[in-house]
Structure 1
Amino acid sequence: MRFRSRTPLAVVAAALLLLAVGCGEDKAGSTPEATGTAAKLVPCPVTESKPPVSNGLPDISLPCLGDGPDVRLADLRGPLLINVWAQWCGPCREEAPYLAELRKKAAGKVQLFGVDYLDPRRELAVKFAAEEGLEYPHLVDSEKQLQRPLRIGGPPLTAFVDAKGAVVYVHRSVFTSQQQLDDLVREKLGVSW
């Protein structure tokens, strides 16, 4: 026995179209929840255009994870730490409290920028940075633009940049203590507090 549906084909097609639109691919970080959390992050600053320097950060621009404009890395000068991380990276989570504490202790003496690297879940990256108290600007490198210039094997990685904009040291592993991080800042950037 065969049943015939009384629902017109046009109604079924319209319902499927609405369902497809409602379930479409969401742009990472564009949900109201992620956008609201992104507003809790420190906005990225407008940087003054400067010529690239020898041994400096690469001449690329990365979008801000929170609010604010794209940032051209070659414009940045130190003393500065660029910390490459991802929310899925266990060691990045381990060292996050040390970076948050450094930001508090060395405020006004050392700048920090985070770079969310190869992270497929922008909303989780925003949540991680906010929950860990990483109160400094964060950029997004979802296309591995920093991989070659900084020779990134994977996160975490931290570049130390001097006042002239030169990368003077790259730490290619997790910080294991606050003392280790503080000592490297003093040794590599000549900054104490």
Structure 2
Amino acid sequence: MRLPVAAVALLAAGVLLTGCDGVAPSFACKVDATTPDLVQDREAAGIADCDPASWSAGDGAAARLPDLELDCLGGEAGAALSRVHGPAVLNFWSSNCGPCRKEMPALQEFYEEYGDRITVLGVNWLDTYPGAAIDLARLSGVTYPSLADGCGDLQETDAPLGAGLPFFLFVAEDGTVSKPHTGGVTSSDEVVAMVEETLGIDLAAAKATP
């Protein structure tokens, strides 16, 4: 679903007005991960780089997603969602999204348990406060990589997008991408259930396999 330009502007304005206290806003929607403050913040947070070669799983087909270079919260080099290989879990979130804050620890737990079998990638979306996003990741203990689309450039592509945040996209082994799934999970088990239902992967059986 595409949001109208006016809605995007309102969302961006809302982020600027409601950002976390003590975090300086970025009035441009592009993330410059080379600024001293952001470098210090992301290193303290321990967020993984957005290097497709280092993503844990991803030995299936390339995702049928846009070849659009996005910024990275955890490093200087960005990447395109088309570099994701299935199976994969993509979680779209923002620093001013209450349900996103609640579900990030659950997704981190899933990443720690199953990240060697399925790629986990965040997409910080329509968020003009990269400092607040990195700080939220640090406070949530999140270390899985996150791309950033602060300008909402994905809206100009054919990427399947949810009507609100948070939402998930699931990439199958053959590269096909699911329709958006509403987020707001509170446990790793809920993510497991979504993966098993959407991608047909028996994670429990895979875990038991030596």
Measured against the shorter chain, the TM-score band is 0.7 to 0.9
Specify which of 169, 179, 185 is matched with residue 159 of structure 1.
169
Instruction: Indicate whether 1:187 and 2:197 are aligned.
Output: yes
Match of 2:113 in 1: 105
Which moved further from structure 2: 101-110 or 143-152? 143-152
Letter in 2 for 1:107: G
- CA distance in 1 between counterparts of 2:103 and 2:27 reads 31
- CA distance in 2 between counterparts of 1:121 and 1:154 reads 18
Letter in 2 for 1:57: L
> What does residue range 1-193 of structure 1 map to in structure 2 within 5 Å?
32-39=36-43, 40-47=46-53, 56-147=64-155, 149-189=159-199, 190-192=201-203, 193=207
8 Å contact from structure 1 (residues 98, 178) kept in 2: yes
Deviation of the 1:152 alpha carbon: 2.9
- CA distance in 2 between counterparts of 1:177 and 1:108 reads 19
Distance 1:68 1:34, change over 3 A: closer
Unaligned runs of 5+ residues in structure 1 are 1-24
Deviation of the 1:145 alpha carbon: 2.2
Normalising by structure 2, we get a TM-score of 0.69
Deviation of the 1:139 alpha carbon: 0.6
Distance 1:152 1:38, change over 3 A: same
Unaligned runs of 5+ residues in structure 2 are 1-25, 55-60
Distance 1:31 1:58, change over 3 A: closer
Q: Find the residue that maps to 1:168 and give its secondary structure.
A: coil
Letter in 2 for 1:95: E
- CA distance in 2 between counterparts of 1:79 and 1:118 reads 25
8 Å contact from structure 1 (residues 45, 68) kept in 2: no
- CA distance in 1 between counterparts of 2:78 and 2:148 reads 9
Q: CA RMSD in A?
A: 2.5
8 Å contact from structure 1 (residues 118, 142) kept in 2: yes
Deviation of the 1:110 alpha carbon: 1.1
Letter in 1 for 2:130: R
8 Å contact from structure 2 (residues 65, 81) kept in 1: yes
8 Å contact from structure 2 (residues 162, 181) kept in 1: no
- CA distance in 1 between counterparts of 2:76 and 2:90 reads 17
Normalising by structure 1, we get a TM-score of 0.75
Match of 1:9 in 2: none
Deviation of the 1:146 alpha carbon: 2.6
